[in-house]
Amino acid sequence: MKTISNLLNNEAWRSVILVVIGFLLAQLKDFFAQRKERKEAVSVLLSDLLEVRHQFVGVELLIDELATLGPLPEHVKSQLRVVLDSLFPNWQELHDRYDKSVTAVARLDPLLSFQLRSKDFVRPVMRTLHFHMGQDSQAAAILAPVIKNNFVNKVETVLNESILKLARRQSLWCWYRTRRTLKASKKLPDEAREAWESIKAIAQAQVKTAPVQPSIGVSNAPQMSQGQK
């Protein structure tokens, strides 16, 4: 203790200690500032990536619901996917925002940024693919099962893993909440489900009440009288 007291009373040593303390405080300040910046960048990127997944999964959920009305040819499903995709917000706006978020994260974590780059391109790729499949019923019938099993499911898995990785960078609580959100998004929300059930009921009622067109055949042809023969 006496040695420490002598050092503190020494002007030179006191200056050195103050410089060291000042340096450490500055490093801590930079650390917490970078940590705050990293969390903000990751939060924005996580929100954008969740939107990318929502648009991708949402189309598939709606197609599955439409299929409950009756069997649909695969090329018709592709046409419906293109129509449903057009109802979502402009992809270019999301792409610009997502690209900026990835670039912001690159300054803090280049590897993570590299892994997440171009994940949002899944939507235009699927739209182009289904546009062409909608024009060719034979190609759609062949390609649809392959795309569903080998592409759609894998893309969803990759998006889920990337989202959870980002959420874990935030906190365990964020990871837990995000994980629950991903599980809940595998089905239509309650308000969307109610609206869909109403639409489905109307469509089914119209099918039942639609007039049946009589088939034209010999039995339905007007009978000629003996005099006409």
pLDDT, tens only, 163-173: 998 888 888 99
> Distance between CA atoms of 130 and 128, rounded to whole angstroms?
6
The per-residue pLDDT for 35 is: 58
pLDDT, tens only, 82-106: 888 888 888 888 888 888 888 888 8
> Distance between CA atoms of 144 and 124, rounded to whole angstroms?
17
Inter-axis angle of helices 137-147 and 74-87, nearest 10: 70
Provide the pLDDT confidence category of residue 227 given band limits of 50, 70 and 90.
very low
CA 150 vs. chain centroid, Å, equals 18
Kindly state the tokens that stand for 226.
């003996």
Contact (CB, 8 A) for 162 and 119? yes
Provide the pLDDT confidence category of residue 224 given band limits of 50, 70 and 90.
very low
The per-residue pLDDT for 226 is: 45
Residues 6+ apart with CB under 8 A from 186: 57, 61
DSSP character at residue 119? G
Q: How far apart are the first and last CA of the chain?
A: 134
Neighbours of 105 (CB within 10 A): 23
54-75: average pLDDT: 82
> Distance between CA atoms of 179 and 156, rounded to whole angstroms?
14
Torsion of CA 93, 95, 100, 103, to 10 degrees: 180
The per-residue pLDDT for 175 is: 92
176-184: average pLDDT: 87
Q: Considering only 38-47, 130-139, 176-185, which range has the smallest mean pLDDT?
A: 38-47
> Distance between CA atoms of 99 and 224, rounded to whole angstroms?
77
